[in-house]
Amino acid sequence: MSRMRLDPSKRKTMIALADPNLFHGTIEHAFSGESGRKLWRIDTLGGKIYLLLISEQKPMLQHAVEQFGYPQEENGWETKEYDGFLEKITQNSRWHFRLVAFPTHSVLESEDIQRKRGKVYPHVTPEYQKKWLLDRSRKHGFSLEENGFQVVQDRSYFFRKSYGPKHRVSLLAVTFEGVLQVTEPELFRTMLIEGIGRGKAYGLGMMTIAGEIK
């Protein structure tokens, strides 16, 4: 896992915070060759803004630091092995968690009947956003109590991957926080590495856990 502090006084940083496609491109260029899976998100900790990144290879984020961070600081980013932490996750352990995800549902409309593929819409109310996560918890190796977590924020993004109307992207980033219990450690570890839901290329789907509850 890598962490890079962002400089919000930079115009490029403020533009990228509204257009996650810019961070996506910078992250792709932080690896040489086949970089494997990557998962990232923007997080605020102690009043400071960070880019968090989980990857199979160690990234070279110097270019990202020059664009969005603090190049004058000696250590513009830090990387730590994630495997040791993942090994500490045991069955029935309970953790505080934070997840930024894109809860969606598919609706089969008349023009979709031939293709058997519905149109994807975001869940826009906290009730259905929470239900979306509850419905997926078992598949990913954890359990939640309905009153044990909440939606603390949501934010809409509208941007273009490239020029042209067909390349417009709209996302709803929903932040969940609360307490979970691990039911199947291997499934849960996989989810922490690979993410959950749509929009992973644009900073969505990463769950982090901290503060095991004894």
Residues 99 and 70 in one domain: no
Are 143 and 209 within one domain? Answer: yes
Q: How confident is the model at residue 163 (pLDDT cuts 50, 70, 90)?
A: low
Residues 67 and 91 in one domain: no
* pLDDT tens-digit readout, 51-70: 999 999 999 999 999 999 99
Domains identified in the chain, total number: 2
**What is the structure's pLDDT at 13?**
97
User: What local confidence, expressed as pLDDT, does residue 36 receive?
Assistant: 76
Range of the domain at 51: 2-80
- Residues 50, 75 within the same domain: yes
Query: Is the pTM value of this prediction over 0.85?
Result: yes
Q: For residue 127, what are the contacts with CB-CB under 8 A and spacing of at least 6?
A: none
Residues 6+ apart with CB under 8 A from 123: 103, 104, 105, 129, 131, 132, 172, 174
> With pLDDT > 90 as the criterion, what percentage of the chain qualifies?
79
Question: In this structure, what CATH number is given to the domain that contains residue 65?
Answer: 3.30.70
